[in-house]
Structure 1
Amino acid sequence: MKPWQTASVRYTSVTIPLALVLVLTNCMSNTPEPVSEPEHTHGWLDFFMPDALVKDVATVECTLSDGTATSCYEITVAGTPSNHGVGPFCPRTTTATEDEVGIWLDGDNLYDVTGQFILDLPSIYNDDHWMLHDGQGHVRVTDTKEAFEAAARPNVAEEYENYCVEGRMEWLEGGEPVTTTVQIPVTPVHQGTPTPARGPLGVTFNGIRIDAAAPVDAILGAHTIAAFDDCGGHVNPFEGYHMHAATGCSEVGDAPDGETPPFAVAMDGYLIHGVLESGDLDKAGDLDECNGHTTDGYGYHYHARSPELNGVLTCYMGTTINHAAGGPPGGGPPPGGEGFETPPPPHDHN
């Protein structure tokens, strides 16, 4: 069973719930009211799971994007999930079932990357050029490091168009996970107005960086599928294993009725909680442009967007560090890097 499924519901594609659309449309049509800063506690440092961090958290001096000098936590995550494995991603045959494969999300729908999905690609995307199999039941998959590096980039090598693209941890430099170091304000500073979020968006409590929306248009334009595992993560040559969607793999603790547990901390210091189901939206109240709200129990916090939307968050309501003033921005490809994951401009919807 997939992480986002319940015992009574199984599906291969997901549409955005109408209730979520109505709430978020209402949020986008209004200028957010400034939120008084609730008393903030830092107990979330204890939420990191064993082996999620590669060294102790340090407190360092930092400068926020508004010029404020303050203190930040410097956190280095392991780059490999501490509570679950990595993969599977692509199917090997056109008969592969959902238990053997990962997922694909394109901003509108979420699919299990089954053999039937591979066969259905021409009709799903209304394009007869799709042909990720050899006609004899075998799916074309990047099964070597060289093939992976040639396909996991914006200018996909022509011979790797019509491939299911997946990376493996052993293909990373030195065969080791890619760690990510971030600086996050000890005390969040609420701005009252949103700023676009770019990767990394934050880090999860099981040791993974959260990246911005995957460049789906570029991936589909090359007739490739950059499959994710069931936890919304995949591998690229620069960031290693990282996630683009929250599917319920790293939440910590329980939550009261109408809420979901936290699973990560955003770059502005506010917690990111799991996706709110449609039945919880009325109880939660209106979410702002960044999918956040304030409650008595948690103070201000975000909720991850539904996984099919591609991107856990699109904006911050808090102030992040000023990278130009020094300190690690959070890793990732160098400027102008050729990775498929070089973040696109943030979306303007939740």
Structure 2
Amino acid sequence: MKLQNSFGAITRNLGLPLLVAIGLTGCNTTTDESAEHSHDNGEVHSHDHVEPHTDVEMFKQAFANDGIEIADELVECTLASGTKTECFQLTVELNKNRGHEVGPWCPRNVSEGADSAGIWLDEGQVYDADGNFIKNLATFYKDDEWQLYNPITGDIKVTDSKQACLAAAKPNVEAEYQNYCVECQPEYVETQTLTYLIPAYPKTGADMYQITAASGVGLALNGVKFDASAPVDAILGAHTLAPFDDFGGHVNPHVGYHYHAVTDKTTKSLGVANDHATLLGYAADGFTLWSHTDTKGSEVSGLDQCNGHSTQALGYHYHAGAAGSNKILGCFTSEPGCSVEAGETECKADMRGNRGAPPVDENGNPLPKPESNQ
């Protein structure tokens, strides 16, 4: 597909200046045949003779939000497998306003309704994590050890300090904070900024890449991280609940506010719609990420196991998973970037997800590979 054709289709549908870049993702998507080239010094770069899917100025327009700084030029970067390429470099201030209020998460008493609470995700469903839900957790999970509230006063045990947040918001919850509703506040965040490397030359091919904590899923247009699936088994195993707000997000003291789900409110807050769907942001591998449903409210059909497909106007791109799935994407079709310390341009080897060992279904069978963009 020619760049000009896609550019025209997108600018007619979305308008300038905000998302001139949107249709460019995937239009110059490369295949393995043209993507790698060996230099005289022996280094292999994955982008020689291939145009990036969008330029830096267009990328800046897509992320035109306060507190997001984008390098003026593509930076040379090294992905976790050792692949050398070029990336967009974004530095995000974590406590900036992201266009919507955050919270609430935990209600304070079992008498409080949905307006004072967030949501919980379980087996594909979204539940209001209100007082009544917390009161009935023992019934919901068929486990009498659940007791997050005082049966006399109805008051709910909530991590209401930074110390309590740090003790509970981790895989090995400290014993004194088991049977708590866990929430962390934005002011508890220890890191002020995060820097992201997003590859400028995504390409579909034979491999799929698993989503890791280091890669996350991607970055929303407002600068909030789309994160990997929440560790629900660890949370529930400690008889804790860590609700998300109505936008699908909560706070981790190390990465700040982040999304684990894309809800209708997330889409309305972030999105700019065309006649296909609503743009949400960029996946960590460089392809665009769009809403779960199309502009008519119907689920998008024909998606591969990573939640992606190709259209004439947009090329290859992803759609977010259903809000209750706790899985924004299933995998990546191109090698992802990562978040790094300021000034770094290399994804560490221990950030690498499995390559050539695709995700499996509930029966342990490898999932089908996405079609290559030939």
Specify if TM > 0.5: yes
CA distance in 1, matches of 2:235, 2:89: 33
Query: Does the alignment pair 1:253 with 2:272?
Result: yes
Aligned-partner SS, 2:90: strand
Between 1:195-204 and 1:264-273, the stretch displaced more is 195-204
The alignment partner of 1:74 has SS state of: strand
Q: Paired residue for 2:174?
A: 157
Alignment match, 2:133: 117
Cα distance 1:302–1:129, how it changes in 2: closer, same or farther (>3 A)?
same
Q: Which residue of 1 aligns with 2:22?
A: none
* 1:70 aligned residue (82, 85, 91): 85
Matched, 1:265 2:282: yes
User: Per the alignment, in what secondary structure is the counterpart of residue 193 of structure 1?
Assistant: coil
Q: Do the aligned partners of residues 223 and 322 (structure 1) sit closer, same or farther apart at CA in structure 2, a change above 3 Å counting?
A: closer
- Does 1:226 pair with 2:222? no
**Residue 167 (structure 1) shift:** 0.3
- Equivalent runs, 1:308-319 vs 2, <5 Å: 308-319=324-335
- Contact kept, 8 Å, 2:207 with 2:358, in 1: the verdict is no
Aligned twin of 1:280: 298
Q: What is the alpha-carbon distance in structure 2 between the residues aligned to residue 346 and residue 178 of structure 1?
A: 35
**Greater shift in the superposed pair: 133-142 or 50-59:** 50-59
Offset at residue 182 of structure 1 (A): 1.1
Instruction: Describe the shift of the 1:316–1:306 C-alpha distance in structure 2 as closer, same or farther (beyond 3 A).
Output: same
Q: In the alignment, what sits opposite 1:179?
A: 193
Question: Where does 1:88-237 land on structure 2 (aligned, <5 Å)?
Answer: 88-135=104-151, 136-173=153-190, 178-199=192-213, 200-237=216-253
| 1:246-295 C-alpha deviation (Å, 9 max, x unpaired) | 11424331121xx32111111110011111279634xx441011000011
What residue identity is the alignment partner of 1:255? Answer: N
Of all paired residues, the percent bearing the same amino acid is 40
Alpha-carbon distance between aligned partners in 2 of 1:55 and 1:107, rounded to the nearest angstrom: 38
- 8 Å Cα contact 2:197/2:337 also seen in 1: yes
Counterparts of 2:73 and 2:177 in 1: how far apart (Å)? 43
Q: In 1, Cα distance between the equivalents of 2:359 and 2:137? A: 25
Distance 2:207 2:70 in 1: 34
Tell me which structure has the larger Cα radius of gyration: 2
Distance 1:60 1:289 in 2: 31
Asked if the contact 1:254–1:260 (Cα under 8 Å) also holds between the matched residues in 2, the reply is yes
TM-score (norm 2): 0.71
CA offsets 1:18-51 (integer angstroms, 9 cap, x no match):
xxxxxxxxxxxxxxxx899998345444122421
1:217-263 deviation line (CA, Å, top 9, x unaligned):
0100100001111111111221121111111424331121xx32111
Structure 1 pair 252–57 and aligned structure 2 pair: CA distance change class (3 A): farther
Change (3 A) 1:69 1:328: closer
Q: 1:290 aligns with which of 296, 306, 310?
A: 306
Q: Which runs of 5+ in 2 are unaligned?
A: 1-30, 35-49, 352-356, 362-366, 368-374
The count of residues paired between Structure 1 and Structure 2 equals 297
Instruction: Quote the offset at 1:107 in angstroms.
Output: 4.2
Q: Given that residues 209 and 358 in structure 2 are in contact (C-alpha distance below 8 angstroms), is that contact kept between their aligned partners in structure 1?
A: no
From the superposition, tell whether residues 303 and 36 of structure 1 become closer, same or farther in structure 2 (CA, over 3 Å): farther
Supply the distance in 1 between the matched residues of 2:174 and 2:80 (Cα, whole angstroms): 39
Q: Which amino acid aligns with 1:314?
A: G
Mind listing any 5+ residue stretches in structure 1 that lack a counterpart? 1-33, 336-344
Equivalent position SS for 1:315: coil
Tell me, in whole angstroms, the C-alpha distance in 1 between the residues paired with 2:160 and 2:80: 42
Q: 1:306 aligns with which of 309, 314, 322?
A: 322
Q: Are the counterparts in 2 of residues 52 and 205 from structure 1 also a CA contact under 8 Å?
A: no
- CA–CA distance in structure 1, aligned partners of residues 155 and 83 of structure 2: 57
Measured in 1, the distance between the counterparts of 2:82 and 2:200 equals 16
- Normalised to the residue count of structure 1, the TM-score between the two structures is 0.76
The residue type paired with residue 195 of structure 1 is Y
Alpha carbons of structure 1 residues 322 and 251: separation in structure 2 relative to 1, 3 Å: closer
Cα distance, 1:171 vs structure 2: 1.9
Report the 3-state secondary structure (helix = DSSP H, G, I; strand = E; otherwise coil) of the residue aligned with 2:258. Answer: strand
Maintained 8 Å contact 1:251/1:274: no
Once residues 305 and 118 of structure 2 are traced to their aligned partners in structure 1, the CA distance between those partners, rounded to angstroms, is 30
Cα–Cα, structure 1 residues 260 and 323, in superposed 2: closer, same or farther, change >3 Å? closer
Does the Cα contact within 8 Å between 2:76 and 2:345 map onto a contact in 1?
A: no
